[in-house]
Structure 1
Amino acid sequence: MECWLYSLLQRAAGNQDSLHDARLANASAYDLTPEGVLQQTLEIVDDSQSNQGKSTNEIHSGTGNSVRQSTDKMRAKVTGDIRFFKYGIVLYGESVARKDLYPYLDVLYREPDHPTSHVKIAIVDGLAGDIINQKSIGSLLIGEFITKKIRSLENMCVFPEMTLETLLPPMLDPGQDFALPYLSKEGEDIIARGIALFHGQKFTGNLRAEQGPLFVLMTGKWKNTASFVKRVHPGPADDMQNFITYQAITQNIKRHLAVKIQRDGQIDVNLNLKLPVNIVEYARDNLQDKANVQRLNDQLSEIMTQDAEEIIRTLQESGCDAFGIGRQLIARYPAIWKSVNWNKEYPDVRFHTQVTVDIVGNGILN
Structure 2
Amino acid sequence: MKRVTATKALLAGSSLLAMGVALGTPRAAAAADQTITAGTTSVVMTSASGNLTVTNSGSIQGATALKYTSGGGTLINGGTITGGIRGLYLAGTSQSGGYVTLTTLANSGTIVSSGNALEVATGNTLVSLVNTGLIQGNLLLNGGDAVTLFGGAGTAVGSFTGVSGNQGTITSTLANLTLGGGNLLLNDDIDATGHTVVNSGASLVLNTIVSITGAYSQTGGTLVIAPTQGGLIASGDATLSGGTVLSTFSSTGNYLAGVSTLIGGASLSLAGATVSIGTLTSLTSATSTIGNNLLLTIGNDYIGGTLASLSNSSTISGAKSAIYLAGTGSVGSLSNSGTLSGNTRGILLAAGAHIDTLSNTGRIVVVGG
Q: Does the pair score TM above 0.5? A: no
Larger proportion of strand: 2
Larger proportion of helix: 1
